[in-house]
């Protein structure tokens, strides 16, 4: 049944003791509510409502909104201790990232860059663990904070002389905590982005260094191949000379035999002349044959 505000005020000390109260006229002055927004030793909070002329259904909805405001406020605040807990870790990681960035500017050599990249990879994994650990709680805190603001707006409050409005009290104490949660969440996201950019930059440097190293290695291999080809050509030339010398040595016997035969005087020249003429011819022919065989064995792609 309706109960005027003047009849409820004497009951405030017995309900709330000496705690400082907040109070507002609700539903455009049709009801009045007081609360200290504290949990007593029994774990419950207390709200005292004076119903001036609200119907039971509307009064029930108003009471539900007040209970939801307190419930959602406490739930939204769960993200605040977590934000304070991870803040030192984020600060340490930011300092470490700044140190790595400063060292990266002076590092020379692939080994040092790879070590820095390994440190950044480990730091990125740590940042991802923190994000996974905090994202759900921070998102829930933001969602419950929005619900608190919505429920406060549905109270249709009016100021009551001598008391701070419920919405003012809740907002002034909840908003700083939520700003802290938002700031920590942004710092963590920004840190992850900075780590990603630093890793990408350093990875690019490592890739360039590896490409240069591979180019030097390929150049060394190419020089070795060219040297091997020159040595092979030299061996082919020497082989042609050796084979020609061997053939001339074999042909020397029949040439000398022909020259000493009865009809040898009719033959033009002597064995030495024949060797002098046939030697260069043998060398050229054998060299060309050896080159031809080498090309066949190496295949058309090797030239």
Residues 21 and 12 sit within 8 Å (Cβ to Cβ): yes
Nearest-angstrom CA–CA distance, 173 and 74: 11
The pLDDT of residue 134 is 92
Segments of the chain scoring below 50 in pLDDT: 1, 303
Residue 147's CB is within 10 A of a number of other CB atoms, namely 17
**Full-model pTM:** 0.65
Length of the chain: 303
The pLDDT of residue 263 is 56
- In whole angstroms, how far apart are CA 247 and each of 117, 268, 272? 67, 21, 14
Q: What is the domain partition of the chain in residue ranges?
A: 5-58, 73-219, 228-298
Strands across the sheet containing 31-35 = 22-26, 31-35, 47-51
The pLDDT of residue 2 is 54
The pLDDT of residue 139 is 94
Instruction: Give Cα 108 to chain centroid, integer Å.
Output: 23
Residues 280 and 288 sit within 8 Å (Cβ to Cβ): no
The pLDDT of residue 258 is 63
Per-residue b or e along 223-254, where b marks 16 or more CB atoms closer than 10 Å to that residue's CB: eeeeeeeeeeeeebeeebeebbeebbeebeee
The pLDDT of residue 9 is 76
The pLDDT of residue 268 is 63
The pLDDT of residue 1 is 44
Token digits for 18?
């000496």
Name the residue among 127, 103, 128, 131 with its Cα closest to residue 115: 103
């Amino acid at each position: 049944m309706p109960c005027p505000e003047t009849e409820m005020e004497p009951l405030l000390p017995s309900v709330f003791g000496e705690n400082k109260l907040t109070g507002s006229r609700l539903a455009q002055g049709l009801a009045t509510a007081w609360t200290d927004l504290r949990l007593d030793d029994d774990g419950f909070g207390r709200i005292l409502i004076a119903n001036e002329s609200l119907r039971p259904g509307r009064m029930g909805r108003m009471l539900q909104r007040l209970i939801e405001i307190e419930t959602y406020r406490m739930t939204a605040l769960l993200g605040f201790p977590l934000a304070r807990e991870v803040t030192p870790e984020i600060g340490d990681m930011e300092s470490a990232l700044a140190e790595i960035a400063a060292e990266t500017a002076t590092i020379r050599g692939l080994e040092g860059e790879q070590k820095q990249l390994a440190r950044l990879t480990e730091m990125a994994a740590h940042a991802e663990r923190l994000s996974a650990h905090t994202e759900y709680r921070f998102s829930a805190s933001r969602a419950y904070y929005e619900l608190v603001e919505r429920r406060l707006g549905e109270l249709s409050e009016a100021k009551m002389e001598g008391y701070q409005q419920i919405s003012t009290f809740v907002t002034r104490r909840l908003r700083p905590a939520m700003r802290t949660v938002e700031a920590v969440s942004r710092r963590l996201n920004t840190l992850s982005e900075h780590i990603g950019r630093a890793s990408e930059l350093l990875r690019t440097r490592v890739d360039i260094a590896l490409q240069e190293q591979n180019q030097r290695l390929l150049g060394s291999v190419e020089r070795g191949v060219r040297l091997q080809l020159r040595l092979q050509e030299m061996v082919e030339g020497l082989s042609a000379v050796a084979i020609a010398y061997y053939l001339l040595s074999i042909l020397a016997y029949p040439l000398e035999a022909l020259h000493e035969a009865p009809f040898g005087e009719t033959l033009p020249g002597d064995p030495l002349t024949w060797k002098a003429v046939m030697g260069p011819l043998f060398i050229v022919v054998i060299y060309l044959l050896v080159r031809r065989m080498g090309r066949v064995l190496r295949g058309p792609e090797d030239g």
